[in-house]
Chains A and B, each alone.
Chain A
């Protein structure tokens, strides 16, 4: 019986996030919320392992109370248990502190054989949390996985590593980071979502995982964002017009002007 954990994150629709011009802070209101796309593949990987090798899947998320939505979505996909790791002091945590919080929450909840995360979030875009979790939990991290089998106390994995296609064997417990190149994820039906709404979600606050306010959030994070800049990439948009031939002429003039196709 495998004990599988998945870490997911609720993220805004990154196309809709705005910067407040007054002070350079992020305005997330109105930006919508969804499960980070890579994390959908993480949940899928967990459910797939559960279905093939039998076990239970516990899904974790660190976030504000609204992040319950992604836990419900994961349970609708087939996760058995959900843990919301939430406390106002966690807000503003960078990747290091996030990794620390998740590893403490996982440790407090159980002993897991396989822990799965997405590779990168669409808001932070760092891709660092998986590697830092690997250090906090002292487990090897496997990425770019083509296939995975569980054989007793180890996993047999085929993966791409650098310029090689490898077949490797690793003792449990292991950490996996996955994305859309790993699998195609299922879409739960309405009935499954409704059932998931009924399930209980365990909440872990700072009190349960330990430590003090200085260890978490902005205070506890070694990196800090001093400014956000919205980028305008507008250019002149000079229209090359006329007949097809005239447009081609104009195009060639432009590229010649920039050193291409000179005589």
Chain B
């Protein structure tokens, strides 16, 4: 099995940025994809070449106006019933054909479940590099490795370290990107993308996964922590379910969302959808307030983009204080009761 093609002259013939514009569950374009279209524009401005969006789904045409607002030069659009949900055979095969024909220098994917399946498969097929869960992308010129290379930054060693990675010789350069890393940006009126229709002619009989029963809808209760401007989070120091539930009262008063570390989830004080500290879920609120949270790395590495971090914990040595703007050494449930009382007094409900 041969390694990738090290021919440097080849590299120059790959141009442009391709973005996997994922349709989530026949409902909407994934926010992360729109962010990547904006990111792709900036990369293409720097490098030259076009931005193309790859849109595959059921009745995919309905999403064309929205995708167009984010300024891709081209939108490859394929519409078919079989594309309603991401499939590990169909999507890679169709995307492979697009990459082969159009030879983008860079391909970007949101680090969603689908993107995280699609990207490594494509990277293997092209014997090229993939950097997963990127938290930064920029173009660099390197004397040693070449001009106009994509520099991909990602956390490694469980978030203790940032690794900076390049893919100097193989193409395309591929990256999956965490949601929220880049901002959506509509370039304004006057953008017209070329719509290129892709025919669906996949032989569905070669699909290897057979359904035995109609699937059940598995609706994780959606809590948009990634989009929350204020997060009120609780940990072990909240002591009990009823004390943890005070966080919801506080959160309502300040217009926030409630988050949790592992302990409340494992103790069934709240559902798993509230847990901050899973892979891929990072938050960037204006205010993060952590109550009774000691600050284990798995949690804290996900809150570092918060503008302001306030921690309340009786333990003055809690690691969370190292990364806090403000520290309150106090018993968290007690502090919250007093805080709620004060807020309700000064902002009575109904005013």
State the A residues within 8 Å of B (CB).
12, 14-15, 17, 19, 26, 94-97, 99-100, 104, 120, 122-129, 131-132, 134-136, 140-141, 156, 160-171, 211, 214-215, 220-231, 233-241, 244-245, 247-252, 254-255, 258-261
Bound complex: CA of A17 vs CA of B325, how far in Å? 26
Return the CB mask of B300-335 against A: 1 if under 8 Å, else 0: 100010011110100000000111111111100011
CB of B167 within 8 A of CB of A128, answer no
Bound complex: CA of A94 vs CA of B127, how far in Å? 11
Residue of B nearest to A126 (CB): B132
Whether, in the assembled complex, B161 has its beta carbon less than 8 Å from a beta carbon of chain A, the answer is: yes
CB of B1 within 8 A of CB of A104, answer yes
Bound complex: CA of A237 vs CA of B129, how far in Å? 41
Take A131-B117, A255-B287 as given contacts and tell me if A170 and B162 are in contact as well, using a CB distance cutoff of 8 Å. Answer: no
Number of B residues near A (Cβ < 8 Å) is: 91
Whether, in the assembled complex, B208 has its beta carbon less than 8 Å from a beta carbon of chain A, the answer is: yes
CB of B160 within 8 A of CB of A135, answer no
Partner of B88, one of A140, A230, A255, A258: A140
Please provide the chain B residues from 192 to 226 with a CB less than 8 Å away from any CB of chain A in the complex: 208-213, 215-220
Closest CB pairs A-B (n = 5): A223-B129, A222-B129, A222-B170, A131-B120, A164-B215
Partner of A228, one of B125, B161, B329: B161
Take A99-B124, A239-B329, A251-B339 as given contacts and tell me if A162 and B161 are in contact as well, using a CB distance cutoff of 8 Å. Answer: no
Take A167-B211, A251-B310, A252-B343 as given contacts and tell me if A234 and B125 are in contact as well, using a CB distance cutoff of 8 Å. Answer: no
Bound complex: CA of A224 vs CA of B255, how far in Å? 44
Take A15-B297, A140-B88 as given contacts and tell me if A124 and B123 are in contact as well, using a CB distance cutoff of 8 Å. Answer: no
Bound complex: CA of A156 vs CA of B209, how far in Å? 10
Contacts A14-B157, A161-B85, A261-B343 supplied; 16 other A-B pairs, CB < 8 Å: A17-B160, A96-B127, A100-B1, A122-B157, A135-B121, A166-B215, A168-B209, A169-B210, A223-B130, A226-B145, A231-B162, A244-B330, A247-B328, A251-B339, A259-B286, A260-B230
Bound complex: CA of A221 vs CA of B123, how far in Å? 12
A140 vs chain B, min Cβ distance (A): 5
Residue of B nearest to A231 (CB): B162
Secondary structure of the A contact surface, majority rule:
mixed
CB of A223 within 8 A of CB of B323, answer no
CB of A163 within 8 A of CB of B131, answer no
Residue of B nearest to A249 (CB): B342
Take A160-B218, A165-B216 as given contacts and tell me if A223 and B167 are in contact as well, using a CB distance cutoff of 8 Å. Answer: yes
Partner of B160, one of A96, A120, A230: A230
Secondary structure of the B contact surface, majority rule:
mixed
Take A162-B86, A168-B209, A229-B164 as given contacts and tell me if A136 and B124 are in contact as well, using a CB distance cutoff of 8 Å. Answer: yes
A49 vs chain B, min Cβ distance (A): 19
Residue of A nearest to B340 (CB): A248
CB of A229 within 8 A of CB of B161, answer yes
Please provide the chain B residues from 29 to 54 with a CB less than 8 Å away from any CB of chain A in the complex: none
Whether, in the assembled complex, B165 has its beta carbon less than 8 Å from a beta carbon of chain A, the answer is: yes
Residue of A nearest to B168 (CB): A224
Whether, in the assembled complex, B59 has its beta carbon less than 8 Å from a beta carbon of chain A, the answer is: no
CB of A15 within 8 A of CB of B160, answer yes
CB of B161 within 8 A of CB of A231, answer yes
A98 vs chain B, min Cβ distance (A): 11
CB of B165 within 8 A of CB of A235, answer no
Whether, in the assembled complex, B25 has its beta carbon less than 8 Å from a beta carbon of chain A, the answer is: yes
B290 vs chain A, min Cβ distance (A): 13
User: Which of chain B's residues have a CB closer than 8 A to the CB of A166?
Assistant: 211, 215
Partner of A164, one of B218, B300, B329: B218
Bound complex: CA of A252 vs CA of B151, how far in Å? 42
Interface hub of B120, B131, B145, B327 (most chain A Cβ within 10 A): B120
A2 vs chain B, min Cβ distance (A): 19
Partner of A128, one of B113, B120, B170, B326: B120
Bound complex: CA of A239 vs CA of B133, how far in Å? 35
CB of B326 within 8 A of CB of A254, answer yes
User: Which of chain A's residues have a CB closer than 8 A to the CB of B307?
Assistant: 258
CB of B329 within 8 A of CB of A237, answer no
Bound complex: CA of A132 vs CA of B116, how far in Å? 11
